[in-house]
């Protein structure tokens, strides 16, 4: 006795609608994934390339009840002027000092110790941002 098949013979009638839909979804998903990756890469590159002045706190030292010495390292183009904002906080987290320091030296890297005045005893010093101010 012959057995009855429920499915169509393989390869005889072309792809089913589900296979075509799956292929279309895979193509759309891959295209959107590549586009998203491109946008993330472009945003990251423009953010990094747009930063013409960068800095970091090398060390800080609380020198009195109302002052903190901060050793800053600033990298910039030799002809540019950089402005770095430094802030300090008390033990309870309240901001007790904030100041913009200007670096206009004709060097690519500037190491400088600056003094930040505070309203009361500070426990830290942190760099908020560094930006270019033209030159």
| Structure confidence by residue, pLDDT tens digits, 47-83 | 766 668 899 999 999 999 999 999 999 999 888 899 9
What is the structure's pLDDT at 115?
97
pLDDT under 70: residue ranges of the chain = 1-17, 48-51, 134-135
What is the structure's pLDDT at 79?
85
What is the structure's pLDDT at 3?
64
* 96: DSSP letter: E
In 3-state terms, what secondary structure has residue 92? Answer: coil
What is the structure's pLDDT at 8?
64
What is the structure's pLDDT at 130?
92
Phi-psi sector, 41: left (phi>0), alpha (psi -120 to 50), beta? alpha
């Amino acid at each position: 006795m012959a057995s009855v098949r429920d499915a169509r013979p393989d390869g005889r009638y072309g792809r089913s609608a589900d296979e075509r839909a799956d292929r279309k979804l895979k193509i759309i998903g891959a295209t959107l994934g590549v586009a998203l990756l491109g946008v993330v890469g472009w945003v990251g590159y423009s953010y990094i390339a747009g930063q013409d002045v960068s800095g970091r706190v090398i060390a800080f030292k609380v020198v009195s009840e109302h002052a903190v010495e901060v050793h800053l390292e600033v990298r910039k183009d030799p002809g540019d002027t950089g402005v770095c904002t430094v802030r300090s906080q008390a033990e309870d987290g309240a901001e007790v000092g904030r100041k913009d320091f200007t670096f206009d030296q004709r060097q690519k890297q500037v190491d400088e110790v600056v003094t930040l005045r505070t309203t009361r005893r500070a426990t830290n010093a942190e760099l908020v941002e560094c930006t270019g101010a033209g030159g």
